[in-house]
């Protein structure tokens, strides 16, 4: 097995880690954690140290590491079919998964188009939206609009519709920039304004834009209810209702990027349900396989599918990825959906969320925090600090206290797997405050 030191050194030599300034690993600014195994909410290194995975390994893990039910499904699938190309072939896991996803959208969104990660799902939705208008004789509708502070991935297409400077600025010359609309961020309320008022104010700007530019606009893309990588920005479902109305009125597609917020994260299975709407395109990934294997999917309304259905090959959607619809990933997804039903997860999460809010009160009331907020199984709080090193200091202090928390700028957030015990929740809340106190200079 080797020890931590051995794996750290070899990893720094052989691996280019994602979203990382590699020098920070060698200088200790950003400690690299060698993980030997995981069980439940815990990750273990080679020397027996443990870390509570309070951010679900970048928001993917729903039911804990090494989950016995997902493991069993994968072992069974391994002996049947590991992979087959999806162009020209099909298999039972992908058919069953597609049928069940359709059912979860109440039969409104279907014709599941698969890829491997969130960014490629978003790319597919953008391409499909444009191609829909092209096939409908309206190729001039080729621009996209998005929200200030939005995040949709790291590929060139998704950076162009994203708005997080750190990831995007250097690549600006390569990007086809979308137009940004004000975020309905509840924190921006003027005195006396409610979250609904903020939503209406932001939607009024969207309306002004669409009035003038709807003829060149293909789609409006949003992260429903919570803008994740932009700082766990939360907003009222009213904004989605208004956006849906405006997109309908101006013949513009509404793309809901639920890569982060899908699968119960915001308290409902899909976040858009809270606005009682359906998008034209729905992008899913992360929690889809319970955090086990790469898989993403784009679901669309029938009218989108119909616009591609033709004798001419070029009117079809000719996009593909080699691992599209991998059977193992689909079985992990099916096992994940089974757990939602067997364990009545959405209801259990509601009870957990109430308890965890109470446990987080000391953090919410801490003299150096502000804007404590919660949406379903996501909690966030902003820290009163201008110090750009705070983020890394907090990360290191939390790790010392056996907790994996990775602030976004000066925002600490919690996005735990859905299987935390009361004891683990208590430990997490307590250690977060301790880590905060230890990291403030």
For residues 376 and 349, is the Cβ–Cβ distance under 8 A? yes
Applying CB under 6 A, among 55, 101, 112, 122 the residue interacting with ligand PLP is 122
Q: Which stretch binds ligand PLP (CB under 6 A): 151-159, 239-247, 340-348, 390-398?
A: 151-159
Applying CB under 6 A, among 260, 380, 405, 425 the residue interacting with ligand PLP is 260
For residues 147 and 183, is the Cβ–Cβ distance under 8 A? yes
Residues between 238 and 257 that touch ligand PLP (CB under 6 A): 257
| Coarse DSSP helix, strand, coil percentages of the chain, rounded to the nearest 5 percent | 45, 15, 40
Query: Cα–Cα distance between 9 and 25 in angstroms, integer?
Result: 10
Under the criterion CB under 6 A, does residue 397 sit at the interface with ligand PLP?
Answer: no
Under the criterion CB under 6 A, does residue 292 sit at the interface with ligand PLP?
Answer: no
Q: Which stretch binds ligand PLP (CB under 6 A): 148-156, 212-220, 361-369, 399-407?
A: 148-156
State in angstroms the smallest separation of the CB of 198 from ligand PLP: 21
Comparing every residue's Cβ against ligand PLP, the nearest one is 118
| Residue 284 φ/ψ region, left for φ over 0, alpha for ψ in the -120 to 50 degree band, beta for the rest | beta
Applying CB under 6 A, among 119, 289, 374, 411 the residue interacting with ligand PLP is 119
Q: Please state, in angstroms and as integers, the Cα–Cα distance from residue 144 to each residue in 105, 127, 305, following that order.
A: 25, 11, 20
Euclidean distance between the first and the last CA atom of the chain, given in angstroms as a whole number: 38
Strands 37-39 vs 42-44: parallel, antiparallel or unpaired = antiparallel
Under the criterion CB under 6 A, does residue 38 sit at the interface with ligand PLP?
Answer: no
Q: Which is nearer to ligand PLP, 38 or 287 (CB)?
A: 287
State in angstroms the smallest separation of the CB of 375 from ligand PLP: 14
Query: Cα–Cα distance between 186 and 126 in angstroms, integer?
Result: 27
CA nearest neighbour of 417 among 341, 358, 360, 339:
339
Under the criterion CB under 6 A, does residue 229 sit at the interface with ligand PLP?
Answer: yes
Under the criterion CB under 6 A, does residue 235 sit at the interface with ligand PLP?
Answer: no
Assign 90 to helix, strand or coil.
coil
- Counting Cα atoms < 13 Å in the Cβ hemisphere of 195 gives 13
Under the criterion CB under 6 A, does residue 265 sit at the interface with ligand PLP?
Answer: no
Task: Return the residue matching tokens 């502000």.
Answer: 370
Measured at the CA of 276, the angle between CA 354 and CA 104, to 5 degrees, comes to 80
Assign 216 to helix, strand or coil.
helix
State in angstroms the smallest separation of the CB of 367 from ligand PLP: 31
Under the criterion CB under 6 A, does residue 325 sit at the interface with ligand PLP?
Answer: no
Q: Which is nearer to ligand PLP, 154 or 424 (CB)?
A: 154
Q: Which stretch binds ligand PLP (CB under 6 A): 75-83, 116-124, 274-282, 433-441?
A: 116-124
Under the criterion CB under 6 A, does residue 432 sit at the interface with ligand PLP?
Answer: no
Query: Cα–Cα distance between 202 and 242 in angstroms, integer?
Result: 10
Query: Cα–Cα distance between 15 and 409 in angstroms, integer?
Result: 25
Q: Which is nearer to ligand PLP, 7 or 395 (CB)?
A: 395
For residues 245 and 239, is the Cβ–Cβ distance under 8 A? no
Query: Cα–Cα distance between 299 and 284 in angstroms, integer?
Result: 8
Structure-token pair, residue 13: 């030599």
CA nearest neighbour of 118 among 319, 8, 256, 235:
256
State in angstroms the smallest separation of the CB of 18 from ligand PLP: 9
Q: Which is nearer to ligand PLP, 223 or 273 (CB)?
A: 223
Applying CB under 6 A, among 152, 244, 278, 301 the residue interacting with ligand PLP is 152
Q: Which is nearer to ligand PLP, 277 or 436 (CB)?
A: 277
Q: How far is CA 219 from the centre of its chain?
A: 19
State in angstroms the smallest separation of the CB of 57 from ligand PLP: 12
Q: Which stretch binds ligand PLP (CB under 6 A): 71-79, 91-99, 113-121, 358-366?
A: 113-121
Applying CB under 6 A, among 56, 61, 217, 285 the residue interacting with ligand PLP is 285
Query: Cα–Cα distance between 270 and 261 in angstroms, integer?
Result: 7
Under the criterion CB under 6 A, does residue 141 sit at the interface with ligand PLP?
Answer: no
Applying CB under 6 A, among 118, 290, 407, 417 the residue interacting with ligand PLP is 118
Under the criterion CB under 6 A, does residue 230 sit at the interface with ligand PLP?
Answer: no
Structure-token pair, residue 93: 């896991």
Applying CB under 6 A, among 117, 123, 185, 273 the residue interacting with ligand PLP is 117
Applying CB under 6 A, among 53, 123, 163, 223 the residue interacting with ligand PLP is 223
CA nearest neighbour of 181 among 215, 138, 212:
212
Under the criterion CB under 6 A, does residue 416 sit at the interface with ligand PLP?
Answer: no
Please report, as ranges, the residues that interact with ligand PLP according to CB under 6 A.
117-119, 122, 151-153, 223, 228-229, 257, 259-260, 285
């Amino acid at each position: 097995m080797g020890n931590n030191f051995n794996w750290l050194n070899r990893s720094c030599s052989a691996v280019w880690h994602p979203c990382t300034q590699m020098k920070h690993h060698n200088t200790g600014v950003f400690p690299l954690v060698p993980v030997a195994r995981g069980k439940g909410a815990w990750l273990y290194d080679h020397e027996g140290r443990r870390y509570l995975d309070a951010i679900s390994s970048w928001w993917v893990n729903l039911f804990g590491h090494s989950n016995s039910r997902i493991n069993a499904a994968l072992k069974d699938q391994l002996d049947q079919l590991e992979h087959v190309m999806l162009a020209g072939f099909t298999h039972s896991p992908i058919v069953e998964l597609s049928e069940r996803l359709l059912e979860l959208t109440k039969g409104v969104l279907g014709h599941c188009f698969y890829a491997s990660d969130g960014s490629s799902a978003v790319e597919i939705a953008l391409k499909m939206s444009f191609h829909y208008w092209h096939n409908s004789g309206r190729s001039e509708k080729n621009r996209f609009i998005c929200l200030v502070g939005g995040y949709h991935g790291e590929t060139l297409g998704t950076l162009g519709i994203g708005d997080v400077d750190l990831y995007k600025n250097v690549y600006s010359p390569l990007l086809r920039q979308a137009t940004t609309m004000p975020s309905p961020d509840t924190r921006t309320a003027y005195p006396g304004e409610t979250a609904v008022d903020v939503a209406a104010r932001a939607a009024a700007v969207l309306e002004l834009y669409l009035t003038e530019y709807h003829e060149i606009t293909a789609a409006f893309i949003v992260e429903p209810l919570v803008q994740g990588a932009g700082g766990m920005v939360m907003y009222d479902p009213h904004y989605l209702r208004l956006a849906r109305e405006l997109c309908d009125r101006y013949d513009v597609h509404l793309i809901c990027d639920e890569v982060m917020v899908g699968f119960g994260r915001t308290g409902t299975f899909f976040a858009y349900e809270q606005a009682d709407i359906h998008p034209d395109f729905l992008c899913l990934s992360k929690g889809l396989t319970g955090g086990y294997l790469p898989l993403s999917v784009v679901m669309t309304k029938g009218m989108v599918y119909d616009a591609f259905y033709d004798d001419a090959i070029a009117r079809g959607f000719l996009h593909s990825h080699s691992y599209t619809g991998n059977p193992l990933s689909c079985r992990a997804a099916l096992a994940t959906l089974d757990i939602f039903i067997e364990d009545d997860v959405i209801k259990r999460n509601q009870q957990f969320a109430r308890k965890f809010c109470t446990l987080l009160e000391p953090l919410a009331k801490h003299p150096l925090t502000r804007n404590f907020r919660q949406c379903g199984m996501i909690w966030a709080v902003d820290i009163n600090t201008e110090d750009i090193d705070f983020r890394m200091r907090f990360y290191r202090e939390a790790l010392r206290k056996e907790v994996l928390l990775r602030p976004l700028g000066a925002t600490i957030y919690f996005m735990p797997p859905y299987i935390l015990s009361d004891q683990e929740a208590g430990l997490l809340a307590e250690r977060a405050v301790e880590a905060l106190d230890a990291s403030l200079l």
